[in-house]
Amino acid sequence: MPQSLFEILYFLIALVIAISVHEFAHAFVAYKLGDPTAKYHGRLTLNPLAHLDPLGTLMIFIAHFGWGKPVPVNPYHFKNPVKDSALVSLAGPMSNFLVAFLFALPLKYFSGYFPVEVLIILWAIVDLNILLGIFNLLPFPPLDGSKIFAVFIPAARQNAYFNFLQKAQPYFFVFILVDIFFLPRILGFSLLWIVLGNLFDFIKTIIFLGS
């Protein structure tokens, strides 16, 4: 997490870009698949004011995890509700990886031409987009990964699966809080950050190899 005033400013710039692109991607893919709900709610935009959640942003500084405003989606507008909902969910993390890749290009090939401040912002954008993409792919409600995982559930069990997601959502938040605040004090490490850290290193390596 950022410490100085300038680090906080760079972090906020990266955060605004990451969340705005992520939520816009959800809205855009949903609209293309036939659901205009997000457009009617003013979410088919890259304007960060439409996507930032004040509490979710504050929680990033307090608990090291947060969220944007969920994009409203009505799966009944889709031809294939489960598959199309999974595509809408997948669009968010994939858009973050794409942003990380695009901003990795100048870091890899033109870093010697930029002042330090610009390099810090570019690194912040790359790192935060990778983290946001990975975090949202975790198969826990209400994260995108839980809806993506639904395509692997047999049709006869999908209603039970979605009911389970609704009931399990509060327990996931409890797990996050316990893992971040208490496990490091008891065990000296966070299970979540071990998983995220390893995946982060893996994805970052792929992005820079491909750029």
Instruction: Give the Å distances, CA to CA, from 83 to 33, 40, 100, 122, 189.
Output: 11, 22, 26, 34, 37
User: 10 Å Cβ neighbour count for 40?
Assistant: 12
d(CA 11, CA 124): 6
* Residues 6 or more apart whose Cβ sits within 8 Å of residue 76: none
User: 10 Å Cβ neighbour count for 110?
Assistant: 10
Q: Report which DSSP code applies to 72.
A: P
Q: At what angle do helices 54-63 and 158-181 cross, to 10 degrees?
A: 50
In the block, tokens 């609704």 appear at 166
Q: Are 204 and 131 in contact (CB under 8 A)?
A: no
Q: Can you say how many angstroms the Cα of residue 33 is from the centroid of all Cα atoms in its chain?
A: 21
Question: Looking at 17, 22, 23, 136, which residue is catalytic?
Answer: 23
Active site residue 23: yes
Across the strands, what pairs with 68? 52
Active site residues: 23
